[in-house]
Amino acid sequence: MSTPLPPGPRWTLPATLKLIRDPYTVTADLRRKHGDVVHFPSLNGPLALVMTPALAEVVLRNSPANYGPWAAGTIADVIGPRSLLVTDGDTHRADRKLLTPPFHGKRMRAYGEQMRAAARARFDAHFVPGESVKLLDVTTELTMDVILTSVFGVADGPAFDEGRRLLEGLTKMSPLLLFSKRTHTPWFGGYRTMVAVRAQFTAWLRERIGEARARTGGEDILSLMVSARYDDDSAMTDDELESQLITLLFAGHETTAIALAWAGHWLGRHPAVVDRLRSELDGLGADAEPDAVAGLPYLQAVCDETLRLNPIVTENLRLLKAPLEIGGFTLPAGMGVSVSMAAIHSDPELYPEPEAFRPQRFLDRTYGPFEFLPFGGGHRRCIGAAFAAWEMRLGVAELVQSWDYELLEPDEKPKRRSITMGPAHGVPVRVVGRRG
């Protein structure tokens, strides 16, 4: 006797549009109404949303061989067919193995200096005492600087300016392009815009790949990718490099900019947290090494609490290749399954008073990989998680240690941008002045 599918909403379009607009409220409502496993009829196909750490562990500990990438056709059209987000099996394992070294170990210390310099330059350029600025505008430029310098190996000049223009265009695409392949038609203006900008970006990127192949000893991620070799001693082709670099752009630019802006918002609402964080940072001195700053426990707790309240993405998706028994239901092959970070991060049994900003909770206890998962989990966990965490911590440290500001919109709410939920008003602040 077959097990029925979990309960859930009936109508695909209204359910998907609601989830796009407000995943936090929607997942909480779905859990209250239907339970810990919810059938969700998304535009990319039927999904089962799982809402607890125990169920997340079932999903993420399951064999990678039982999963494929979710919505691969939809994502490949936008990002590229060789992206880690859409490859599978041996190809995915080989690509992930090749791409992992630039994001770990001593490489992070080299990037740390670039991250801190970018943060200092952007805050100094935009923070004028007595004037107002949107914090998200500043952090977007900051993370764009880091991407261009650390990833693409472009420090200044016309190539830098053109890259900034194109990156900005790519990251402002309609979120519907990633939520439904039906939007990939010339009849949809957002698709036409994406295709045009993507073609220009591809031409720009091919020039950067050519430059990376011509130089030796480069420390940017593109140079390391060009020189890396698979087990058979072959190198990545230009097409493969393009897909992976666009993946890094989507995974590491707007996401980190938004995380930094949210951190600035929460710190602006909690002066006692700012005082404690400044005391920790001041204890290191002005010229502390980036790895010493990034390793400060309260700074980490502030960033983790920000990512708990505002996870970079709200769902961690897989496509089932084999049936999965979970929560008393049997999910068939061909169905999607998603670990809902939005639901888990707001579970009051796990995080008492979940709507409150309390970094101390991350010092009082250690949360497991199925309880706190801002970068996803399992074999498809974000490959750039360490890079993004360092950039966020160093950016927050520079903001808090150097500047005083006041929020102009203390009740900032999340709003869908592309795959992320950013602050609706961009976190407008009035700059009080430089500290010290």
The answer to whether position 375 is within a domain reads: yes
The answer to whether position 303 is within a domain reads: yes
The answer to whether position 3 is within a domain reads: no
pLDDT surpassing 80 at residue 295: yes
Cβ contacts of residue 373 below 8 Å, gap of 6+? 56, 311, 316, 339, 341, 344
> Apex CA 290: angle with CA 120 and CA 341, to 5°?
90
Q: Give me the pLDDT at residue 2, please.
A: 52
Q: How far apart are the first and last CA of the chain?
A: 72
The answer to whether position 324 is within a domain reads: yes
pLDDT in tens, 88-142: 899 989 998 888 877 776 777 778 888 999 999 999 999 999 999 999 999 999 9
pLDDT in tens, 61-86: 999 999 999 888 888 888 888 888 88
Domain that holds residue 106: 12-434
Q: Give me the pLDDT at residue 420, please.
A: 79
Mean pLDDT of 249-263: 87
The candidate with the shortest Cα–Cα distance to 236, out of 97, 108, 103, is 97
DSSP 366: P
Higher per-residue confidence, 415 vs 281: 281
The answer to whether position 7 is within a domain reads: no
pLDDT in tens, 181-230: 889 999 999 889 989 988 999 999 999 999 999 887 778 889 989 998 99
Provide the number of structural domains found in the chain: 1
What CATH number is attached to the domain comprising 104?
Answer: 1.10.630.10
